[in-house]
């Protein structure tokens, strides 16, 4: 459709005439269960205590990434930045100054205050907000996200020298600059990059350090607020798996089952998938990260579905495997049971001070013994096992679906336990009855002082429970009118 230049100008004038004032589009937080600003404040205080009064730290948001033409990818905030601020908007910069520095009082410009933290954010813009939604602005960032001091991000450049020298810092903590920095964020950070380059060139007394390891260490053990978010994300994921089991029918497209998962996620309040949904049937069940989801599901197929929700920034990760026709065949049942036995054995041993290596060994030995008894492997060796079980036992979950973790279990950590067996068609020395059987069972486990708690247990894992549930109909069986 073509428009004349006059029509475009007239449209722009009408938009300007109809534009409301920025304050009339005041930012609204509709969700009532967000992590409070006080929690983020405590995290920033803890980090400032770690780096000491002789340091400052600067963190920045993720860049906006172009998908195609004038369309951007869905924006996802940098996890470390979000952990410290709870702030989702792009083009933002956080500065932490343990010793403090003098700035003008944002509520009374005639007075000065000592600020220990500064968040530089996008300014309120009534025209942009009318097109693209409300912004926090500096005032909203302080009121709603609990920041001590916030300013428009175009002030970062002018305030940077006083931040450096006014704080009397000996150490500058800043994450390495990403190679894909572009657009407005790259422009905002250019003065910082130039300052660091000059300091290095002049051998300045300020030493540059990477704060990432410090923040990642803080993120390993989850707070009660984070556990609540991950519990919610996992409960939503478990309900979606139940509905998918009830809905699946031979003849469906894998994408139809994917739609069931995503419908339940959104229906129950999750903003996004934690990752691209894997709905792998038949020969696709032996592909670990298959996500094409276009095949027609056939009678006799196993469906391996690795799908989970992200809730308020926290991602779960749950996998279930079930028969398309509601009944496991004998070979499917045998492989499924040995994977389940391996998972249950590893979870039973999961508690504080147990090493991840020990848990992995328990699962691997169980699977190896099971495959040997079935004649699928001829020798009980790691090499033979790796033909059919070739990934790790699991990983931490949190702000990332593959989150930061450590080698020894500790109360407050959340890990997936997800052993699997994948027997591709044509596997040497294997009875063809086992071809195209891929089984993975994955649950989110909270390590507690007493042992552990399975957060995704409401999605059935036992064969009898799965088959019983699949006799019911789910939301995916409703016709679209």
Domains of the chain: 17-218 (3.40.350.10), 221-477 (3.90.230.10)
Residues whose CB falls within 8 Å of the CB of residue 80, separated by 6 or more in sequence, listed in order: 59, 175, 211, 212, 215, 216, 219
18: pLDDT strictly greater than 60: no
Cα three-residue angle 92-94-99, rounded to 5 degrees: 160
What DSSP character marks residue 301? -
3 state SS of 217 = helix
**Checking phi first, is residue 411 left (phi over 0); if not, alpha (psi -120 to 50) or beta?**
beta
Q: Tell me the percentage of the chain whose pLDDT exceeds 70.
A: 94
Q: Is the pLDDT of residue 120 over 50?
A: yes
**Mean pLDDT, all residues of the chain:** 92
- Report angle CA 191, 196, 197 to the nearest 5 degrees: 95
**Residues 134, 187, 391, 467: which is the catalytic one?**
391
289 part of the active site: yes
> pTM for this structure?
0.92
Q: Is the dihedral of CA 143, 145, 147, 149 positive or negative?
A: negative
Catalytic residue among 70, 108, 353, 428: 70
Please write the tens of the pLDDT for every residue from 215-228. Answer: 999 999 999 999 99
Does position 12 have pLDDT exceeding 50, yes or no?
A: no
Q: Return the closest-CA partner of residue 296 out of 248, 255, 253.
A: 253
**Annotated catalytic residue 442:** yes
Q: In terms of Cα–Cα distance, which of 35, 63, 30 is closest to 134?
A: 30
Q: Is the pLDDT of residue 22 over 50?
A: no
How confident is the model at residue 397, as a pLDDT?
A: 98
Pairing of strands 55-60, 93-105: antiparallel
Annotation marks residue 306 as catalytic: yes
The residue-averaged pLDDT of 307-319 equals 98
Q: Specify whether 395 is catalytic.
A: yes
| Average of per-residue pLDDT across 196-213 | 84
Average pLDDT estimate for 109-119: 86
Residue of 136, 314, 322, 422 marked catalytic: 422
In the set 241, 320, 395, 461, the catalytic residue is 395
pLDDT of 341 over the 90 cut: yes
Lowest mean pLDDT among 76-85, 201-210, 356-365: 201-210
Q: What pLDDT shows up at residue 206?
A: 84
From the candidates 289, 294, 299, 462, which is the catalytic residue? 289
Residue 36 confidence (pLDDT) above 70: yes
Structure tokens at 220: 């390993």
Active site residue 241: no
Catalytic residue among 80, 258, 403, 442: 442
Percentage of residues in the chain having pLDDT higher than 90? 81
According to the model, what pLDDT value does residue 23 have?
52
């Amino acid at each position: 459709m073509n428009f004349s230049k006059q029509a475009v100008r007239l449209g722009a004038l009408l938009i300007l005439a109809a534009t409301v004032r920025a304050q009339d589009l005041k930012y609204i937080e509709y969700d009532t269960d967000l992590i409070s600003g006080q929690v983020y404040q405590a995290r920033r205080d803890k980090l400032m205590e770690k780096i000491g009064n002789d340091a400052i730290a600067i963190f920045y948001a993720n860049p906006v990434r172009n998908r195609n033409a004038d369309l951007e990818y869905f924006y996802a905030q940098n996890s470390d930045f979000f952990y410290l601020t709870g702030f989702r908007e792009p083009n933002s910069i956080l500065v932490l100054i343990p010793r403090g520095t003098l700035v003008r009082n944002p509520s009374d410009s005639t007075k000065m205050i000592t600020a220990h933290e500064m968040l530089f954010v996008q300014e309120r813009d009534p025209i942009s907000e009318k097109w693209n939604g409300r912004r926090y602005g500096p005032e909203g960032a302080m009121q709603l996200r609990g920041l001590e001091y916030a300013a428009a991000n175009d002030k970062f450049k002018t305030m940077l020298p006083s931040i450096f020298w006014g704080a009397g810092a000996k150490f500058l903590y800043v994450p390495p600059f990403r190679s894909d920095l572009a657009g407005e964020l790259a422009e905002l950070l250019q003065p910082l990059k130039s300052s660091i380059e000059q300091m290095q060139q002049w051998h300045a007394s300020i030493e540059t350090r990477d704060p990432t390891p410090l923040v990642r260490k803080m993120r390993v053990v989850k707070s009660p607020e984070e556990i609540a978010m991950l519990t919610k994300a996992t409960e939503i994921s478990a309900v979606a798996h139940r509905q998918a089991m009830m809905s699946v029918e031979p003849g469906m497209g894998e994408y139809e089952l994917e739609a069931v998962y995503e419908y339940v996620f959104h229906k129950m309040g999750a903003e996004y998938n934690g990752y691209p949904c894997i709905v792998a049937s038949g020969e696709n069940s032996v592909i670990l990260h298959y996500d094409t989801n276009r095949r027609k599901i056939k009678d006799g197929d196993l469906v391996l579905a690795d799908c989970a929700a992200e809730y308020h920034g926290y991602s779960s990760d749950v996998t279930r495997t079930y028969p398309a026709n509601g009944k496991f065949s004998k070979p499917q049942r045998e492989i499924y049971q040995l994977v389940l036995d391996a998972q249950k054995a590893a979870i039973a041993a999961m508690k504080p001070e147990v090493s991840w290596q020990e848990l992995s060994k328990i699962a691997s030995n169980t699977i190896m013994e099971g495959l040997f008894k079935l004649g699928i492997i001829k020798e009980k060796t790691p090499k033979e096992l790796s033909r059919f079980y070739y990934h790790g036992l699991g990983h931490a979950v949190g702000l990332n679906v593959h989150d930061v973790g450590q080698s020894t279990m500790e109360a407050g950590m959340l890990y997936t336990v997800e052993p699997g067996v994948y027997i591709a068609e044509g596997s040497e020395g294997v009875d063809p009855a086992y071809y195209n059987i891929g089984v993975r069972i994955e649950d989110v486990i909270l390590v507690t002082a007493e042992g552990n708690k399975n957060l995704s247990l409401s999605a059935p894992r036992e064969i009898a429970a799965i088959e019983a549930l699949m006799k019911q109909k789910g939301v995916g069986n409703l016709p679209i009118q």
